[in-house]
Amino acid sequence: MPGTPQLLPLRAIWLLVPPILLCTLDAGFTLYGQSPNYWAGNYADVNELSPSFAHALSIHPLAFVGLILLWIVLFSATILLLPELLALTISVAIVIGHVAGAGGWLLYHFENYQACIALVLVSAFVIVLSFKRGQCESGQSAFDWQRTGLPGWSRWALVALLIALPVWWLLIPH
Domain-embedded: residue 138: yes
Range of the domain at 25: 11-171
Amino acid, res. 80: L
Residue 146 lies in a domain: yes
Q: Tell me whether residue 115 is in a domain.
A: yes
CA 70 from centroid of its chain's CA atoms: 10
Distance separating alpha carbons of residues 61 and 12, to the nearest angstrom: 31
CA distances (Å), 121 to each of 14, 17, 19, 95, in order? 18, 16, 15, 13
What per-residue confidence (pLDDT) applies to 38? 98
Spans in the chain with pLDDT lower than 70 = 1-9, 136-148, 173-174
Number of domains within the chain:
1
1 part of a folded domain: no
In a domain, residue 124? The reply is yes
Q: In terms of C-beta density within 10 A (0-12 exposed, 13-18 middle, 19 or more buried), how is residue 132 classed?
A: exposed
Residue 161 near residue 73 (C-beta atoms within 8 A):
no
**AA letter at 174:** H
Assigned domain for 75 exists: yes
pLDDT given for residue 155 in this prediction: 82
CA-angle at 51, arms to 89 and 81, nearest 5° = 30
Q: Is 7 helix (H, G, I), strand (E, B) or coil?
A: coil
Q: Is residue 2 part of a domain?
A: no
Instruction: Please tell me the distance from the alpha carbon of residue 149 to that of residue 166, in angstroms, as a whole number.
Output: 27
Per-residue pLDDT, 156:
86
pLDDT of residue 57: 97
| CB atoms inside a 10 Å sphere around CB 91 | 25
pLDDT digits (tens, 9 = 90+) for 57-84: 999 999 999 999 999 999 999 988 888 7
